[in-house]
Structure 1
Amino acid sequence: MNGSDDPLRYAGIADRLDAAATELDELMFDQLRAAVSAKSGRPADDKRLIKARRAIERAAHLLRGWDDPVDD
């Protein structure tokens, strides 16, 4: 059976990717809150985490059969 014959499996993976993206969001917000409390600048990992979150979001969209929003 190839992957296109099993959309539920793709959807399950996409759901787990969504959960990972949510976890990254929580991490980013925690870092931003800490930076605000410390009155420091942008957290060092902020850009990297944003890129990772976007990549995960793109992968979830692709697995669901949606167009890649970045390619529009």
Structure 2
Amino acid sequence: MSNNRGGGNNPFCDLLENLDPNTDVENVFANGNNINVESFVNIDSDSGLAYFNNGDSVVTVYCDSIDAIDWD
């Protein structure tokens, strides 16, 4: 996958592109930061933005900045 940020070599980008929406996810680690989430929403392959549900809000992360995903 390539995106507007360049790179696009992160295997999490490919994984998320094939992941079903509403898949349970507990945490996303991006650029070394832990982000608490509840589920995967979707990914925009053109921009490289991945969307996760965080209860009352949606968290947006560049897929190429994801270091790890903690599955629920």
Query: TM (normalized to structure 1)?
Result: 0.24
Higher relative contact order (CA 8 A, sep 6+): 1
Normalized per residue, which structure has more helix?
1
Normalized per residue, which structure has more strand?
2
